[in-house]
Amino acid sequence: MAMTSCFFTVPISESNLTRPHLAFSPRLPSSSSFTGVISAKSISFHRRLTISPVFSASIDNGGSDNNNNNNGGDGGGGSGDGDGGSGEDRDRNRSEAMMLLAESGTELESLPKDLAAAIESGRIPGSVITRFLELQRSAVMRWLMQFAGFRERLLADDLFLAKLAMECGVGVFTKTAAEYERRRENFFNELEVVFADVVMAIIADFMLVYLPAPTVSLRPPLALTAGGISKFFHNCPDNAFQIAISGTSYSLLQRLGAIARNGAKLFAVGTTSSLVGTAVTNAFIKAKGAVDKTSEGEVETVPIVSTSVAYGVYMAVSANLRYQVVAGVVEQRFLEPMLHQHKLALSAMCFAVRTGNTFLGSLLWVDYARLIGIQKSH
């Protein structure tokens, strides 16, 4: 249990200890009439209230990450989205969210259905609504927010798109450099293979950032007829190390489930991308050998099945764990709390960390491939 608390408990900052509670009753009337109940003074107070970052530790009962009331530790995985928040947390979340919507003149009915349902059930705090309203000012972000997956990730991290661009950009550069190093004078003669390899690398890099990214879960509960395993994985977080927002908590078992679920997805992504890439490469090698008999036998074909399965396992284990730690521990728990007011410095640090992680991954893949015999050391 000591190791568990080391990884999953969140340091309580001074802002958490001094956070004021709302002065009015947590039970509010319907959204159509609540504005008349809240005084102008309280609205002015909450306009100045900022909760940053979105994922903040809570010392209230049920809101902490290691809450004893979380109901996702059994085989059924609990209800909702792994929530263990108390009624007080949910009432406070609902009050903050409705107040911010009223101040901005935004109707609850105009929001995406999953977001509106989460607000009504008190599953998300006011800080998420603040970020949603800020993102809506950008045409690009507003378009991306139409998609549920991007919406959940952008609400959790407004730099998610930048990190996605960083990872894919670094991936294109390093993969192209590796292809040139391998092919040298034949680089431009084999552009078709190079293009196929780079495209597969971009797909893999995209999924490596997208799948383990921390999210604000807006998924509705599954039907009562759903099986226990489906309910369990449905309630797991997208990142095993992400900080639970106020009113939500995840058990250790659910966090382990996040690693297993993402591992299965990344295994499929890695195997498929490698299968296509190696098949195209082998086809080009054979076609070249058929045309130019002198080059036949100079380059060995790559074993398709063994290489693809090996790369899938590598993605599911090494890449999965590394990217979960980068997104959920290094960035969310260390860099963002320190630099959340300095976005440029935060972006630079994230770029440095992800570039180093990509380089480390390349070294680990070479060692792993040689260890299991799919690549030979010359």
pLDDT at 26 over 60: no
**Highest mean pLDDT of the ranges 80-89, 262-271, 358-367:** 262-271
pLDDT at 103 over 80: yes
Closest CA to 70 of 128, 8, 20, 161: 8
Residue 283, CA distances (Å) to 50, 79, 245, 288, 369 in order:
57, 50, 50, 9, 22
> How would residue 293 be classed by pLDDT, with cut points 50, 70 and 90?
low
**Average of per-residue pLDDT across 309-335:** 95
Structure-model confidence comparison of residues 353 and 78, the more confident one: 353
Q: Is the CB of residue 249 less than 8 Å from the CB of residue 73?
A: no
> How would residue 69 be classed by pLDDT, with cut points 50, 70 and 90?
very low
Q: Which of 23-27, 173-177, 188-192, 256-260 has the lowest mean pLDDT?
A: 23-27
Q: Is the dihedral of CA 78, 83, 85, 91 positive or negative?
A: negative
**Average of per-residue pLDDT across 165-169:** 92
Token pair recorded at residue 370 = 């040689």
pLDDT at 332 over 50: yes
Q: What is the pLDDT of residue 181?
A: 78
> How would residue 297 be classed by pLDDT, with cut points 50, 70 and 90?
low
| Alpha-carbon span 284 to 42, nearest angstrom | 69
pLDDT at 43 over 80: no
Q: What is the pLDDT of residue 200?
A: 81
Token pair recorded at residue 312 = 């899938």
**Average of per-residue pLDDT across 294-304:** 65
pLDDT at 229 over 50: yes
Mean pLDDT for the chain overall: 77
| Alpha-carbon span 342 to 370, nearest angstrom | 43
> How would residue 298 be classed by pLDDT, with cut points 50, 70 and 90?
low
Q: What is the pLDDT of residue 300?
A: 65
Q: What is the pLDDT of residue 2?
A: 42
| pLDDT over 70, % of the chain | 73
pTM for the predicted model, two decimal places: 0.71
The residue written with tokens 């991290």 in the block is 157
pLDDT at 81 over 60: no
CB-based contacts of 327, cutoff 8 Å, min separation 6 = 163, 209, 212, 213, 214, 239, 241, 242
> How would residue 182 be classed by pLDDT, with cut points 50, 70 and 90?
confident
Beta-carbon count within 10 A of 27 CB: 9
**Average of per-residue pLDDT across 231-260:** 91
Task: Provide the 3-class DSSP secondary structure of residue 291.
Answer: helix
| Alpha-carbon span 284 to 172, nearest angstrom | 21
Beta-carbon count within 10 A of 255 CB: 24
> How would residue 86 be classed by pLDDT, with cut points 50, 70 and 90?
low
Give 45-68 pLDDT, tens digit per residue: 333 444 444 444 433 333 334 333
Token pair recorded at residue 173 = 């550069």
> How would residue 131 be classed by pLDDT, with cut points 50, 70 and 90?
very high
**Average of per-residue pLDDT across 239-266:** 92
pLDDT at 242 over 80: yes
> How would residue 17 be classed by pLDDT, with cut points 50, 70 and 90?
very low
> How would residue 299 be classed by pLDDT, with cut points 50, 70 and 90?
low
Q: How many angstroms separate the most distant Cα atoms in the chain? A: 86
Q: How large is the C-alpha radius of gyration of the chain?
A: 24
Q: What is the pLDDT of residue 42?
A: 38
> How would residue 33 be classed by pLDDT, with cut points 50, 70 and 90?
very low
pLDDT at 74 over 60: no
